[in-house]
Amino acid sequence: MTERYDRLLSALREVALVNSVFFVVEWDEQVMMPPGGASHRAEQKAWLARTAHTRQTSAEFGDALSEAEVEQSAAPEGSEPRAVLRQARRAYDRAVKLPGSLVEEITRTTAHAHHAWVDARKHNDPAKFAPWLAKIVALKQQQAACLAKPGQAAYDVLVDEFEPGETTAHLDEIFGALRAPLVELVGKVMSSGRKVPSEILARDFDVDAQEALGREAAKALGYDFERGRLDVSVHPFSISLGPGDSRITTRYHANRFSDAFFGVLHETGHALYEQGLPGERYGTPLGEAASLGVHESQSRFWENLVGRSRSFWRFFYPKAQRAFPAALSGVSEDDFVAAVNGIRPSEIRVEADEATYNLHILLRFELEQALMTGALKADDVPAAWSDRLHGLLGVRPSTEGRGCLQDVHWSGGSLGYFPTYTLGNLFSAQLFEAAGRDLGDLDASFARGEFAPLREWLREKVHRHGQRYLPQELITLATGAPPSVEPLLAHLRRKAHEYYGV
């Protein structure tokens, strides 16, 4: 008998439908909405968030969950019902601890804060955003207080929202294992005396041609434009509105080729994950991504492990030359590949190379903890950001828009999210190693423009499982070993040796 379990599945899908409408208005807000609609949009989003929360915390939902647990109590531990019930119980137990008024207020505040961030970034004026950041931090502290177990730190609560089972202590271990080797590697590169021709990427690249090339690349990797679209936003993102509708955005700069192109590859990786989830499981945990860290592993996998490889450009560089005949005139494939793999300290996270990227994340990880404990105030973020960036990478932001205002995440209330980027980098390198063992010569496939075998490997090993496993379990099953920093460090050392001889 599955009558009670089926009732729970119906209740889960009703909540998912409300959330999907929320995502529609979220996408419209960042891509299409005129600025004058901001206040009304905030109310729409607050109402939708409250409605989804009310449904998920209702007595009817709770009864359906409890009755399904009783009905399925004899189901095998690794079965689909047990996985669904485990995740549904986790989400329900968290939701019922949060007052609906708090959920509504967080959504309303972050909707307004997003537009304040856009304005502050445009004018390089953090004072325009600081009051909103202070309010968001206060609301997230309230949220954490509602959800915390006895003795659990507020930041642990926020991290667990995005990466189930992850803790600040374990993240400290990961960053501790990465920090010294990365600082040493970057130092060796900077003192090597070698330079890659990065100026190639700052030439005049026609924006329309950039868009066309990005679309071609996304399609080559397997992004289905019949079930997705590519648009422009202030900060690139990927969003799934439900089965058959997974959208991506990027941003274009005529003199920064890498921004849009690798942004498209990055967001395509996210969208391929969404398009690879089992659509028939929509609305249930088995139709949702395992975690934000696993999600990020997919974007970094295609952006870096594939998209910056020499073999990818063996296939794709002739297309780039046809798209930009003037900008790439006389530029060899070797020089271009070296340029897209350059290593140098920079201000901007999304423009950072693979070797320095995780140091950008470490900066945010430390600042977020300080914000949540109250050790750092919103007004003091710009100075703290500049000092920590200088300490890690030896550079300071040239403007606040290229400093503490560069990321959209805090305006959306996503404190605790940034560490998942580093987890994604670890997972991606480990997955790529495993794929190479299973599939053989990936470079030969890339050089022929054959990406389907790798994509299908990911769908088999990662996508199809949804949330059947916890993130670390999923990576262990997919690769044959627990998550480790070593595959990533080995990859970065190989790259530094290839291009800088260190």
| Catalytic (active-site) positions | 267
Q: Is the C-alpha dihedral spanning 241, 247, 253, 259 positive or negative?
A: positive
Q: Is the C-alpha dihedral spanning 346, 352, 357, 362 positive or negative?
A: positive
The secondary element (H helix, E strand) that includes residue 231 is: strand 230-232
Q: Starting at the earlier edge strand, list the strands of the sheet with 230-232.
A: 230-232, 245-250, 238-242
**For residue 344, how many C-alpha atoms fall within 13 Å in the half-sphere facing its CB?**
12
By C-alpha distance, which of 49, 25, 43 is closest to 143?
49
* C-alpha dist (Å) from residue 60 to 4, 19, 56, 67, 99: 12, 19, 9, 10, 17
List all residues 6 or more positions away from 439 whose beta carbon is below 8 Å from its beta carbon. 445, 453, 454, 457
Phi-psi region of 29 (alpha: psi -120 to 50; beta: other; left: phi over 0): alpha
Percentage helix, strand, coil for the chain under 3-state DSSP, each rounded to 5: 70, 5, 25
Taking the C-alpha atoms of residue 458 and residue 462, their distance in angstroms, rounded to an integer, is: 5
Q: How many residues does the chain have?
A: 502
Taking the C-alpha atoms of residue 371 and residue 368, their distance in angstroms, rounded to an integer, is: 5
Instruction: Yes or no: say if 18 and 53 are a contact pair by the CB < 8 Å rule.
Output: no
What's phi and psi for 12, nearest 5 deg? Answer: -65, -40
The secondary element (H helix, E strand) that includes residue 247 is: strand 245-250
Instruction: Yes or no: say if 314 and 155 are a contact pair by the CB < 8 Å rule.
Output: no
Strands (E), 2-87: none
